């Protein structure tokens, strides 16, 4: 399998290589890393080679310039896009400016996510242009935030490409449910409906018996009564980002009280990691890699790539892609997140066992309508359409802030506007 990681110069990339090196049953992997900064790309390549020692993984760094990128993409089977367009400065802006308007700051949802998409789309489109010319049959896996909105935008402009968003959050939520009621995760049957980072596990059963009430009671006992209230109201388990919509006051209070942004924390950790990547031995590299958990690799991207490389992987993958008529009430082109499995080398969507309740359906529909309008506005570079999208966002209570949000999003310039890493 030839794998290209676009945005491979980031601090977390060696964690993905370490995961793949541990997996058994993989066909040989030809891995090519691309990155904005040659020195960081060289450091990550060195660290990745140390961690891949003894595994059938050949690792190369993409040279500078468009021709080098074309050569790197030639004959690619899978392309993982984890570029952070605008770097950590972009993330810092996305997670902070909405707070001024009484809205939660987040790099993937809400106005912050829309800001990230507005900045990311032009360079991402340039990259997908090259993919269309060099390897149109490749599977493009999007990890760049905001996953759902960018997947929707890619579907509008590049319907000929197979572009899927991927996320670990629903699978982590399912594992947490299993742990809470002390049962094996593979003993649970479930349905899932959502968009990236805003989804719901529903119809949860074990041996045909519902488990939702037990889950709500256990969280009540853990002094998280608001979570239990949401579970009972919706008869479904939300992903961890539910608080941004249903417990906004508490999230805002926490965000206002932070003395250091997440981007600042990651920037400090990144600098420390690159020193070890450049000069450290394998033990030092492993130590710095372990300092930052990377569940998006261990619980989603890594297993998915391993399955594509021939390994036997039984866990579900949660991918964002057009719904294609699977759920009543949605357009075939609406991008939804859904569970998939890899069987016999083929990627299959898990069947829809039951339909969600009205509250879940209405909540997801509101996000889908917003993302459809927002992705069109991002592609068309239309500030007026950005405002129309924000006005129907389910978090927005005061339409008077919309012009201010649009001005923040469209006037903010993050330099340099070229890829860093998302992960």
**Share above pLDDT 90 across residues of the chain, in percent, rounded to a whole number:** 82
Do residues 319 and 211 share a domain?
A: yes
The residue written with tokens 């945005």 in the block is: 7
Average pLDDT over residues 295-303: 97
Residue 29: inside a domain: yes
Same domain, 53 and 149: yes
Average of pLDDT values for 132-153?
97
Same domain, 86 and 144: yes
Q: Give me the percent of the chain exceeding a pLDDT of 70.
A: 96
Joined together, the tokens standing for residue 93 give: 């802006």
For the cut 60, the answer to whether the pLDDT of residue 221 exceeds it is no
Q: Across the chain, what does the average pLDDT equal?
A: 93
Reply yes or no on whether the pLDDT at 414 is more than 80.
no
Say if residue 312's pLDDT is above 80: yes
218 burial (CB, 10 Å; 0-12 / 13-18 / 19+) is middle
176 shares its domain with 295: no
We report the CATH number of the domain holding residue 128 as 3.40.50.720
- Structural domain that includes position 158: 2-166+258-301
10 and 100 assigned to the same domain? yes
pLDDT at 417 over 50: no
Residue 413 inside a domain? The answer is no
| 331-355 pLDDT tens trace | 999 999 999 999 888 999 999 999 9
Structural domain total, the chain? 2
Give me the pLDDT at residue 223, please: 55
Please state, as a whole number, how many other Cβ atoms lie within 10 Å of the Cβ of residue 54: 7
Residue 377 included in any domain: no
Same domain, 71 and 125: yes
Residue 419 has pLDDT above 50, yes or no: no
Reply yes or no: is the peptide bond before residue 416 cis, omega within 30 of 0. Answer: yes
Radius of gyration of the chain (CA): 21
Residue 253: inside a domain: no
Residue 396 within a domain: no
Residue 420 lies in a domain: no
Asked if residue 124 and residue 24 are part of one domain, the reply reads yes
3-state class (DSSP) for residue 419: strand
Q: Give the separation between CA 18 and CA 388, rounded to whole angstroms.
A: 44
CA distance 180 to 214: 9
Average pLDDT over residues 346-365: 95
Same domain, 347 and 276: no
Secondary structure letter of residue 280 according to DSSP: -
Is-contact 4 76, C-beta < 8 A? yes
- 51 in a domain, yes or no? yes
Range among 79-88, 158-167, 258-267 rated most confident: 158-167
| C-beta of residue 305 within 8 angstroms of C-beta of residue 25 | no
Residue 23 domain-assigned (yes or no): yes
Contact 161, 125 (CB under 8 A): no
Length of the chain equals 423
Of the pLDDT bands very low, low, confident and very high (cuts 50, 70, 90), residue 407 is very high
User: 167 pairs with which residues across the strands?
Assistant: 318
CATH number for 189: 3.90.110.10
Q: Are residues 124 and 268 in the same domain?
A: yes
Is 231 found in the same domain as 87? no
pLDDT > 80? residue 220: no
Q: Are residues 154 and 280 in the same domain?
A: yes
- Whether residue 35 is found in the same domain as residue 142: yes
pLDDT of residue 222: 55
* pLDDT for the residue numbered 224: 67
- Pairwise CA distance, residues 219 & 211, whole Å: 13
């Amino acid at each position: 399998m030839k794998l290209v990681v676009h945005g491979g110069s980031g601090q977390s990339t060696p964690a993905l290589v370490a995961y793949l090196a541990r997996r058994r049953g993989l066909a040989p992997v030809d891995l090519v890393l691309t990155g904005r900064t040659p020195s960081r790309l060289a450091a990550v390549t060195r660290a990745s080679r140390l961690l891949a020692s003894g595994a059938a993984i050949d690792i190369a760094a993409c040279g500078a310039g468009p021709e080098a990128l074309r050569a790197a993409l030639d004959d690619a089977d899978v392309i993982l896009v984890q570029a952070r367009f605008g770097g950590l400065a972009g993330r810092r802006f996305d997670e902070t400016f909405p707070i001024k308007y009484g809205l939660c700051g987040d790099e993937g949802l809400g106005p912050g996510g829309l800001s990230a998409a507005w900045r990311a789309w032009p360079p991402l489109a340039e990259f997908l242009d090259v993919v269309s010319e060099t390897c149109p049959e490749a599977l493009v896996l999007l990890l760049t935030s905001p996953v759902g909105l960018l997947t929707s935008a890619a579907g509008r402009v590049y319907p000929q490409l197979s572009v899927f968003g991927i996320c670990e959050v629903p699978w982590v939520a399912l594992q947490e449910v299993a742990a809470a009621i002390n049962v094996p995760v593979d003993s649970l049957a479930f349905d899932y409906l959502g968009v990236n980072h805003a989804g719901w596990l529903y119809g949860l059963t074990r041996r045909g018996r519902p488990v939702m009430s037990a889950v709500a009671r256990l969280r009540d006992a853990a002094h998280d009564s608001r979570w239990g209230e949401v579970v009972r109201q919706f008869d479904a388990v939300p992903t961890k980002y539910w608080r941004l919509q249903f417990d906004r006051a508490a999230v805002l209070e926490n965000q206002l009280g932070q003395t250091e942004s997440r981007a600042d924390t990651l920037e400090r950790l990144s600098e420390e990691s690159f020193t070890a990547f450049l000069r450290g031995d394998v033990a030092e590299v492993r130590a710095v890699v372990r300092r930052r958990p990377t569940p998006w690799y261990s619980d989603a991207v890594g297993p998915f790539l391993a399955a594509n490389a021939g390994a036997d992987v039984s866990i579900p993958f949660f991918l964002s892609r057009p719904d294609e008529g699977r759920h009543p009430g949605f357009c075939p082109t609406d991008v939804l997140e859904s569970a998939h499995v890899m069987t016999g080398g083929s990627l299959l969507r898990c069947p829809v066992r039951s339909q969600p309740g009205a509250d879940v359906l209405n909540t997801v529909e509101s996000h889908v309508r917003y993302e459809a309008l927002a992705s069109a506005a991002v592609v068309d570079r239309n500030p007026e359409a950005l405002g129309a999208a924000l006005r129907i966002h389910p978090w927005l209570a005061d339409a008077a802030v919309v012009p201010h949000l649009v001005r923040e999003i469209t006037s903010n310039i993050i330099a340099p506007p070229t890829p860093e890493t998302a992960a």
